[in-house]
Amino acid sequence: MARILILGAGISGHTAARCLGRWVGRQHQVIVVSPKPTWNWVPSNIWVAVGEMTESEVTYELAPIYKKVNVDFRQASALSIHPEGDAEHTKPFVRIEYTDPARVGEAESIAYDFLINATGPRLNFAATPGLGPETGHTVSVCTPPHALEANRRLQAAIAAMKNGVRQTLLIGTGHGMATCQGAAFEYICNVDHVLREAGVRQQARLIWLSNEYEVGDLGIGGVLITRGGYVTSGKVFVESLYLRTAVIWQFIRFWVIGYRVLKLMWKPHG
Ligand SMILES: Cc1cc2nc3c(=O)[nH]c(=O)nc-3n(C[C@H](O)[C@H](O)[C@H](O)COP(=O)(O)OP(=O)(O)OC[C@H]3O[C@@H](n4cnc5c(N)ncnc54)[C@H](O)[C@@H]3O)c2cc1C
């Protein structure tokens, strides 16, 4: 019997776990290690962040699902991977620490025959000074708690607009390595929609701030959209949409280049 260890129960890890559980779960052992008890359909967080979906609609408990498909679930974080074992372990192993309230803080080593590392991307707010909900000054739509807070702040802005106070909403992505423009683009469209529904769109200045090479790149080198027999580039599509919905767009790179040029110009001599 082989042991397959999966780190992370996001879109990749959970898909792997469900398939492997069904295919080989009776003959072999499939273990999933992930710190949260729930699964999250991440793309739908953009609906939570405008109040059109609830947290419970985009998450569900992992343990009952894994029980059905022969997967052993450990609510824990992987701390380190040891593919060559060590003095005490002849087999490769992963060191984990439980986040499960019943075993919180307890550490364990899990030996494996096959490893799937699906711990996903790390949210790197710190790469852009001032960005992020925990240590910065912005909201995020990346996790359900972030999205709930984003919606709370959006509703407060809508309430202010209903009282006649104009608001500027800046939506986009961070530093040059952030490639989540697709999600940010969907979110700005959702915000435009809920502002119109609330009858306050005229009170809002909506700005798209992006590190894209050009608008419509969406972090994936652009897209081609087929509609009514015509193929339109992402650039033309998004530009037309923003012109129609009165979204102003700005590129971070111009700001960064401009800032660097100014810094050079102002550099004191000697
Ligand atoms: C708001 C939003 C909307 C998006 N919309 C789209 C879309 O429409 N289409 C699209 O293709 N992509 C979209 N994306 C991107 C997509 O969600 C990600 O590419 C995808 O979630 C990556 O899947 P993953 O399984 O690799 O990582 P994740 O989904 O991030 O999962 C990683 C898992 O690993 C766990 N983990 C982390 N650290 C550890 C550790 N040390 N030990 C054990 N487990 C750990 C996490 O808790 C999580 O369960 C969107 C992203 C965002 C933020």
> Domain map of the chain by residue range?
3-117, 125-266
CA of 71 relative to ligand 1 center, distance in Å:
20
Nearest CA, atom 27, ligand 1: 120
Name which residue sits closest to atom 30 of ligand 1, judged by CA: 120
Task: Provide mean pLDDT across the span 73-98.
Answer: 97
3-state secondary structure of 15: helix
125-266 maps to which CATH number? 3.50.50.60
The predicted structure's pLDDT at residue 180: 84
Looking at ligand 1, which residue's alpha carbon is closest to its atom 5? 43
Alpha carbon nearest to ligand 1 atom 14, residue: 43
Task: Please name the residue that has the structure tokens 């947290």.
Answer: 55
Domain 3-117 identical in fold to domain 125-266: yes
- Ligand 1 centroid distance, CA of 150 (Å): 19
The two three-digit tokens of residue 57, written as one number: 């609609």
- Res 179 pLDDT > 60: yes
Closest residue by Cα to atom 53, ligand 1, is 142
Asked whether the predicted pLDDT for residue 65 surpasses 80, the reply is: yes
Q: Are 42 and 142 in contact (CB under 8 A)?
A: yes
pLDDT at 253: 58
- pLDDT value of position 248: 85
Rg of the chain on CA atoms, in Å: 23
- Supply φ then ψ for residue 3, to 5 degrees: -115, 125
**5 has pLDDT over 80:** yes
pLDDT at 177: 82
CA angle, 240 as apex, 239 and 245 as ends, to 5°? 100
The DSSP bridge partners found for residue 209 are 172, 250
Residues with CB under 6 A from ligand 1: 7-13, 33-36, 42-43, 45-46, 77-78, 118-121, 141-142, 180, 182-183
DSSP string, 218-256: TTTT--EEEETTEEEEHHHHHHHHHHHHT-EEEEHHHHH
CA 193/CA 29 separation, integer angstroms: 47
What is the pLDDT confidence band of residue 269, given thresholds at 50, 70 and 90?
very low
The architecture in CATH of the region 3-117 reads 3-Layer(bba) Sandwich (3.50)
- Helices 181-197, 234-245: crossing angle, 10 deg rounding: 30
* Residue owning the nearest CA to atom 48 of ligand 1: 10
What's the whole-number average pLDDT of the chain? Answer: 92
- Split at pLDDT 50, 70, 90, the class of 211 is confident
- CB distance 24 to 123 below 8 Å: no
CA of 6 to the centre of ligand 1 (A): 14
Atom number in ligand 1 closest to CA 39? 49
User: Exposed, middle or buried, 22 (CB in 10 Å: 0-12/13-18/19+)?
Assistant: middle
Compute the distance from residue 198 Cα to the ligand 1 centre, in Å: 31
Question: What are the φ and ψ backbone dihedral angles of 42, each rounded to 5 degrees?
Answer: -50, -45
pLDDT of 270 above 80: no
Cα(12) to centroid of ligand 1, in Å?
8
* C-beta of residue 58 within 8 angstroms of C-beta of residue 48: yes
**Predicted TM-score of the model (pTM):** 0.90
Q: What is the distance in A from the centroid of ligand 1 to the CA of 266?
A: 43
Whole-number Å distance, alpha carbon 43 to ligand 1 midpoint, is 9
* Cα–Cα distances in angstroms (integers) from residue 194 to residues 19, 32, 209, 249, in the given order: 38, 38, 20, 19
